[in-house]
A and B are shown apart, each in its own frame.
Chain A
């Protein structure tokens, strides 16, 4: 089992969870997506994410509409993406059980704007699945997401984004048709 796990270096999911949370004294806003696609390659230390903006579900239907129509403009910018790498992570440590903290750095593209960010993450290999978690702040102004004056007190300037993935191993050959669902 362990040997197999070590030989496996690439993990993928199409149903990763990404949520964000905006907290203000007036109201809390939360949205969740369960359609995040991600590849983590421990062989090269690279990783990539792609989140369809329209997959975010809000508590209020009208909020979801405004999020797509006015804020994130999902017709124009249908996906948020991240490409980056693990910083100083030895793939061999995955063999040890339990979560391992690892910094990730790379480019986050949101609403057509790209910023280089650094994010603390944790990864863990558990029964053949790679679990990955990260939480980081995103300031809407950095990504040209305009918030009108009238609702400025209802929406936090900085929202907290949480990522939770459970990835299945991918066969070494690129383009493998594994579809973990």
Chain B
């Protein structure tokens, strides 16, 4: 009903405006709003740029995102076998590798996580701290920086070795500085200088410390669907000579409380110590693992008081 009134109101308004240009109430209202905007405009105000990535992982890599305060995220990460493993293995679907993890936001900046991969029966624990957050407004911060540190321990029984391995030799560490920028509402990019430290390497010549630089991106296609990619370049050394750089490409699909991430990657392991220094698949030769990550968020503590 009110919609029918609009044309006549507009027409009348036009007539009146000619006669009473200055006394028009609409104009006075706009002035009052402008007055309000002027008074509330704070030239020092900065706003945090949120939602650089949809999930806490891009594909293989972590993203700058953490679960917000009081939010518990449950992640199921999955990689099937390689696509080129043939019809007998149903193109990889016969095999599956899994990592289950929980991530919890202690504050809006600090998150802790634990995970378990079935590759080498590995447990991992990590800390993620949002050191800087990208902002807009006055003197904006151009990037978000998240610090990531993780420790992984394999619980495999090494019965075939001459001696059972010590606890220290089972540990590997990953340190990353995740630097991301939401370039536009649709496009986000991330750079990831990384150090992997391995307490124990099986062969002489293998490095204990492997350095790598990763890159990732997210491009939205619609509000709820985005394309993603990430890549780790391993700096020259034994690992670079004998293994391949990890590459992933995928799609993020968001539905209510879930984020589904579907992807293709040449890396099978889902913790840093696997996919950065130990990726063996040749992406362009069909050594591609189809995989997915499903994240479900639970609100443990409400943000509202």
Do B299 and A48 touch (CB < 8 A)? no
Shortest beta-carbon distance, A152 to chain B, in Å?
10
Q: Mark B2-41, 1 if CB is under 8 A from A, else 0.
A: 1000000000000000000000010011101101111110
Do B33 and A50 touch (CB < 8 A)? yes
Residue B69, interface by CB 8 Å: yes
Tell me, in angstroms, the Cα distance from A81 to B33 when the chains sit together.
8
Do A150 and B36 touch (CB < 8 A)? no
Contact surface of A with B, Cβ cutoff 8 Å: 12, 14, 30-32, 37-39, 41, 44, 46-50, 54, 57-62, 64-66, 68-70, 75-76, 81, 83-85, 106-107, 115-116, 148, 150-151, 154, 174-175
B73: nearest chain-A partner, CB-CB? A62
Which residues from chain B contact A30 at a C-beta distance below 8 Å?
304
Do B105 and A61 touch (CB < 8 A)? yes
Which residues from chain A contact B33 at a C-beta distance below 8 Å?
48, 50, 81, 83
A38: nearest chain-B partner, CB-CB? B36
Given contacts A68-B50, A83-B30, A150-B256, contact A50 B223 (CB under 8 A): no
Choose one: B254, B257, B303; the contact of A59 (CB below 8 Å).
Answer: B303
Which residues from chain B contact A148 at a C-beta distance below 8 Å?
224, 255
Choose one: A46, A54, A58, A60; the contact of B32 (CB below 8 Å).
Answer: A46
A79: nearest chain-B partner, CB-CB? B37
Do B299 and A61 touch (CB < 8 A)? yes
Which residues from chain B contact A69 at a C-beta distance below 8 Å?
50-51, 223
Tell me, in angstroms, the Cα distance from A58 to B39 when the chains sit together.
27
Q: List 9 A-B contacts (CB under 8 A).
A: A12-B36, A12-B39, A37-B39, A38-B36, A46-B28, A46-B29, A60-B297, A60-B302, A61-B297
Given contacts A60-B297, A150-B255, contact A50 B36 (CB under 8 A): yes
Q: 7 nearest interchain CB pairs?
A: A61-B68, A83-B29, A48-B33, A59-B302, A37-B40, A48-B32, A60-B299
Do A39 and B32 touch (CB < 8 A)? yes
Do A174 and B35 touch (CB < 8 A)? yes
Shortest beta-carbon distance, B19 to chain A, in Å?
20
B2: nearest chain-A partner, CB-CB? A116
Q: Which interface class (under 10, 10 to 19, 20 to 34, 35 or more) fits B?
A: 20 to 34
Do A58 and B304 touch (CB < 8 A)? yes
Q: Classify the interface of chain B: helix, strand, loop or mixed.
A: mixed
Do A44 and B299 touch (CB < 8 A)? no
Contact surface of B with A, Cβ cutoff 8 Å: 2, 25, 28-30, 32-33, 35-40, 47, 50-51, 67-71, 105, 185, 223-224, 254-257, 297, 299, 302-304
Which residues from chain A contact B255 at a C-beta distance below 8 Å?
148, 150-151
Do B36 and A48 touch (CB < 8 A)? yes
A32: nearest chain-B partner, CB-CB? B304
Which residues from chain A contact B39 at a C-beta distance below 8 Å?
12, 14, 37, 39, 175
Given contacts A54-B47, A61-B69, contact A39 B35 (CB under 8 A): yes
Q: For the A-B complex with A150-B256, A174-B35 known, give 10 more contacts whose Cβ atoms are closer than 8 Å.
A: A31-B304, A39-B36, A41-B32, A58-B304, A59-B303, A60-B257, A60-B299, A68-B50, A151-B256, A175-B38
Choose one: B36, B69, B297; the contact of A62 (CB below 8 Å).
Answer: B297
Tell me, in angstroms, the Cα distance from A83 to B28 when the chains sit together.
10
Tell me, in angstroms, the Cα distance from A112 to B51 when the chains sit together.
21
Shortest beta-carbon distance, A150 to chain B, in Å?
5
A146: nearest chain-B partner, CB-CB? B223
Which residues from chain A contact B51 at a C-beta distance below 8 Å?
65, 68-69
Shortest beta-carbon distance, B2 to chain A, in Å?
6
Shortest beta-carbon distance, A159 to chain B, in Å?
16
Given contacts A37-B39, A60-B297, A60-B303, contact A154 B256 (CB under 8 A): yes
Do B185 and A75 touch (CB < 8 A)? yes
Which residues from chain A contact B70 at a C-beta distance below 8 Å?
61
